[in-house]
Each structure stands twice: as C-alpha cells, then as structure tokens.
C-alpha cells in the first residue's frame, strides 16, 4: 500500500507554504516529519485530511484494490491539541464510538481490550474527559484511531505531552501498528524521530526530502538533519 502525493501546492495569501510537493509514503513504516516552527507541518497534514483548501494537489491510495483517490475514511488524524467530548467519561466516549462504528470495526475486541492497549486505568476510565490531562486526552485520540483502523494515520506531535513511561508504551504500540498502516508522525524532538521512525522526512523550503537513515553512525545522521533544518530559508 502506498500514499501518493502529486503536485501539492498551498499558500496563505502571497506566502507559499508548500510548493510542488511530490512524494510517496509506503505501508509498514513510521515516517518522522521534521521541520522548523512555521515550516508547514500542520498545513501539510491539514491538506492531506482536506481540512483546508489548497491551490492544487492530488492524493492517491495505491493498494490491492487498485489506485484510487484518497478518501477521508482512509485517514486517521491525531491533533496536537486533543478534541474530545468533555461532558462524557472516557468509558462512555469509547463505548459510544464503538456502538456507532460496530459495523466497521473488529468485533472480537471488548472495550476493556482497547483500554488495555493504551494502559488507561479503570479509575481513569470513569473520569469525565474534561478532567483528563493533555496526555490522557491524546491517548484517547490515538485509541479512537486504533479502533477505526484507517489506512493512514497522521500524528501531529502526539507524544510530547506524555510522561516517559506512557511515551514508551505508545512507541511500542505504534511499532506494532505500522505493519498494516502508513504512519506519519510530526515532531520537533529529533531523538524521538530517530529512535521511533523508520524514515526521516524533512519539510524545508516548502518541499519534502527524505534523509536516508544511517544506523551505523547515528551522530553523523543527526548532524546531517540539523544542518538541513538550519538551511531553511526565511521568506
């Protein structure tokens, strides 16, 4: 399975943010999307998810069913600022989501099975979502996307609000999920990207460029990434 992006262009007024982007993401990998503040990482995600208007661009999903236009149902998007119904408890929210999607999801798993995946304690499941920490809300967002099982998962700074233990748990979960998905993770933490991701993609000067991973000399690899980010030109 592949996600093909063809001739993506996005501007805000006279400011170009994404220019003639052509790129292919492949199943079975976690891609780390790195870029300086304001480089356009969230704009890139919003373009794929059709949350914003773009000047031009085509998105295709190429899998065993052929090459078809990307649809919103194919995409799971975990926002950097979690959006959850705060008037529900965690358990009520998850049960509601399972109920309305029962014809589309894996019926062999129970609600407790899903909570176990993200290590959310029984007492926390009974709390209103408005009382959840930022990290707990992020866990719920990730969990919803696990249940919905979209082909492409976009993660916008998903782990920065989690403590060290929770981060490690989610990293292991993402490594399992990548087998049947295309995962693109936006982060500004270089160590997280180099540790978790199979490929590093730099968004610099309005374009995407992949940096071949050097497992032999990780310091040299990190230095190369930092050098590329420093070369980002100001408009």
User: What is the mean predicted confidence (pLDDT) over 61-73?
Assistant: 90
Residues 2, 27 contacting (CB under 8 angstroms): yes
The pLDDT of residue 138: 84
The pLDDT of residue 149: 87
User: What is the mean predicted confidence (pLDDT) over 26-37?
Assistant: 91
pLDDT over 80 (residue 216): no
- Which residues have CB under 8 Å from 115's CB, separation 6+? 90, 91, 94, 122, 125, 143
b/e burial code for range 178-190 (CB count within 10 A of at least 16 → b): beebbbbbbbeeb
pLDDT over 60 (residue 234): no
The pLDDT of residue 232: 67
User: What is the mean predicted confidence (pLDDT) over 207-235?
Assistant: 73
Band of residue 5 on the pLDDT scale cut at 50, 70, 90: very high
CA 138 to chain centre: 12
pLDDT digits (tens, 9 = 90+) for 47-57: 999 999 999 99
Q: Which fold has domain 2-230?
A: Rossmann fold (3.40.50)
Band of residue 233 on the pLDDT scale cut at 50, 70, 90: low
Beta-bridge partners for 2: 26, 62
User: Which three-class secondary structure string do you get for the chain?
Assistant: CEEEEEEEEEEECCEEEEEEEEEEEECCEEEEEECCCCCCHHHHHHHHCCCCCCCEEEEEEEECCEEEECCHHHEEEECCCCCCCCCCEHHHHHHHHHHHCCCCCCCCCCHHHHHHHCCCCHHHHCCEHHHCCHHHHHHHHHHHHHHHCCCEEEEECCCCCCCHHHHHHHHHHHHHHHHHCEEEEECCCHHHHHHHCCEEEEEECCEEEEECCCCCCHHHHHHHHHHHHHCCCCC
pLDDT over 70 (residue 67): yes
Angle at 186 between CA 173 and CA 137, to 5 degrees: 60
| Pairing assessment for the beta strands 56-63 and 66-69 based on DSSP bridges | antiparallel
The pLDDT of residue 235: 46
Whole-prediction pTM: 0.87
The structure tokens listed for 45 are 């995600």
CB atoms near residue 155 (< 10 Å): 27
pLDDT over 80 (residue 13): yes
CA-wise closest residue to 145 among 83, 88, 75: 75
pLDDT digits (tens, 9 = 90+) for 81-105: 888 999 999 999 999 999 988 887 8
């Amino acid at each position: 399975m592949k996600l093909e992006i063809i001739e993506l262009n996005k501007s805000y007024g006279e400011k170009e943010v994404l220019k003639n982007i052509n790129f292919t993401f492949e199943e079975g990998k976690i891609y780390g999307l790195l870029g300086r503040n304001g480089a356009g990482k969230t704009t890139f995600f919003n373009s794929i998810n059709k949350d914003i208007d773009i000047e031009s661009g085509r998105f295709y999903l190429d899998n065993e069913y052929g090459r078809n236009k990307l649809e919103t149902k194919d995409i799971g998007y975990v926002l950097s600022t979690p959006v959850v119904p705060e008037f529900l408890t965690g358990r009520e929210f998850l049960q509601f989501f399972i109920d309305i999607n029962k014809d589309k999801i894996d019926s062999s798993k129970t609600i407790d099975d899903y909570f176990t995946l993200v290590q959310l304690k029984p007492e926390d499941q009974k709390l209103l979502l408005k009382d959840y920490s930022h990290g707990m809300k992020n866990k719920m967002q990730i969990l919803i996307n696990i249940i919905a099982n979209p082909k492409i998962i976009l993660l916008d700074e998903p782990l920065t609000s989690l403590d060290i233990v929770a981060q490690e748990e989610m990293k292991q979960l993402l490594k399992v999920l990548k087998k049947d998905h295309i995962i693109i993770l936006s982060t500004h933490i270089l160590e997280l990207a180099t540790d978790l991701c199979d490929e590093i993609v730099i968004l610099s000067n309005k374009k995407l460029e992949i940096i071949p991973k050097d497992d032999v000399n990780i310091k040299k690899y990190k230095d190369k990434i930092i050098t590329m980010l420093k070369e980002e030109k100001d408009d």
